[in-house]
Amino acid sequence: MSPTEMSRDKKTELLLTEPAALANHDVQTWQHLPRAEMDAIQLAALKRRFASLRDRVPVLKKLADGEGVAQIDSLHDVVPLLFEHTVFKSYPPSLLEKKRFDQINKWLGKLVTPEVAERIAAADVSGCQGLDDWFDAMHAAIPDLRITHTSGTSGTVSFLPASTREWEKAIAIRKLFVWKQDGPDMADPDLHSVYPYFRKGNLSHVRANEFLIRALLPHEGNFHAAYPGALSTDMLHLGAKLRAAHANGTLDRIEISPELLRKKKDFDALQADMPQYLANFFDEMATKLRGRRVYIGATWNLLHGMAKAGLERGLEGIFHPDSFITTTGGAKGVVQPEGWREDVMRFTGVSRLNETYAMSELISGSNPRCEHGNFHFTPTVVPFVLDPETSQPLAREGTVTGRAAFYDLGAEVHWGGFITGDEVTVEWDKPCACGRPSRYVVGGSIQRYSEKNGGDDKITCAATEGSHREAMDFLSTIEQ
């Protein structure tokens, strides 16, 4: 059935459960879904999602009760229920130091639906000596849940719970852009993927590879990572803590457990072997993969690092020009060097990069940049622009600058609404010259408030102060 033949209810259902099918698995249809119709479908989808999660996600129920929100009638009704993005790292940090992963699980259970919380509570984490052990134990206990984490540049990592189904829906959208297809089942049997980082890990963009391999590649052997092992969350967390302590002048107070010291020795040994791994990586690209069509999805700094190293080896135009190279943010606080895009294109041999505005908290919300430099909101994301001081919603008309906030309609086992630390300028009315009907972030307008304000950014929730504080206290208070 074509999208024009579907009922409004059917389109709403597909947007929530199988979004790629809403566009009949066609990328052009996906990018040109009519604006007015999508507004109505998104509102209907948000109503359904709120109704299903309102009393089932404990912290959401606490906040909704405090705000007196029983149903959603307009998009702005949800704004008082948008969490600060820091909610995903609101656990007491001492729990990690004391290895109280049972208490971390109690905290996490307040962010998810009851059936998921029950399985989290039942997971045996008594023997976990660190984060790597905990992630492994949780994956073994709940194989259809993926807990991922952020880079933790502040010294505290965020833990993001999502079901495998949520990841699969998101990757099915990515597949629309990558495959050269005449239908949803027309895979490219010769497609390879190159990844300039670790093969496995629980960092959000590394974890995505598990689902990309299944959805995009004919078999796992077509995935080529620079480093064959797993990225250690313990080592990432330690590095983030050391950097934060150094910045705060508290480096002398950091205590490192014997277990962590042993793990650091193993990591140091891996780092010593990295030059050889990289040599093998570039040799494989220069021989086995030369001229092939590849998919590469990585943060800009990983892409640029790979390109620079390849160009220094005299490698240019390695892959088929029709390869799909996609990138988003990363390396917070690091200024993108001039010419990084040109370096990547010269090394890979493609004529354009597919850039997106995305973040770890938005699993289904990768917003692509068009040829005119604007980031178009994907249909699975409901965007908001908020007053940067009060987080009250600004008008959804004209050209508006403020704090970005989103609702991820792909979220099923947790509440998908949150407020970011980004300042954006959104064009609500004027169509983009590229012809896509969706609203968009004006290209080049994205910056972090913390960088704009000299490192300071106090996010204010749009909820009333009392109900917001009660919800956050409820989330972070864990009975010992």
Share of the chain residues as helix, strand and coil, in percent rounded to the nearest 5: 45, 20, 40
Residue 442 belongs to a domain: yes
Question: Please, what is the average pLDDT of the chain?
Answer: 90
> Bigger pLDDT: 330 or 123?
123
pLDDT tens for each residue of 417-435: 999 999 999 999 999 999 9
Distance CA 6, CA 275 (A): 55
Residue 148 belongs to a domain: no
Distance CA 427, CA 436 (A): 13
Token output for 14: 């597909």
- Band of pLDDT at residue 448, cut at 50, 70 and 90: confident
Strand ranges in 300-344 using DSSP code E only, listed in sequence order: 324-328
- Band of pLDDT at residue 3, cut at 50, 70 and 90: low
| Residue (of 326, 332, 360, 362) closest to 345 by Cα position | 326
| Count: domains in the chain | 1
Q: What is the mean pLDDT of residues 370-382?
A: 96
Element (H, E) at 205: helix 204-216
Residue type, 95: L
Residue 42 belongs to a domain: yes
Looking at 110-124, 185-199, 412-426, which range is the least confident one? 185-199
| Residue (of 350, 345, 332, 356) closest to 304 by Cα position | 345
Residue 183 pLDDT greater than 80, yes or no:
no
Residue 366 belongs to a domain: no
Strands 192-200 and 223-230: parallel
What is the predicted pLDDT for the residue at 191? 93
Task: List the domain range (segments joined by +) for residue 454.
Answer: 1-82+374-480
Output the CA–CA distances (angstroms, integers) from residue 195 to 211, 269, 294, 477, in the order listed: 14, 21, 10, 40
Residue 226 belongs to a domain: no
The pTM of this model reads 0.92
Q: What is the mean pLDDT of residues 55-67?
A: 96
Residue 180 belongs to a domain: no
**CB–CB of 394/387 below 8 Å?**
yes
Question: Which residues contact residue 366 at a Cβ distance below 8 angstroms, ignoring those fewer than 6 apart?
Answer: 170, 173, 174, 328, 356, 357, 358, 378
- Band of pLDDT at residue 251, cut at 50, 70 and 90: low
Residue 26 belongs to a domain: yes
Looking at 102-106, 176-180, 297-301, 362-366, which range is the least confident one? 176-180
Helix locations, 110-160, DSSP H: 114-122, 131-141
| Residue (of 247, 318, 323) closest to 283 by Cα position | 318
Distance CA 385, CA 397 (A): 10
Residue 6 belongs to a domain: yes
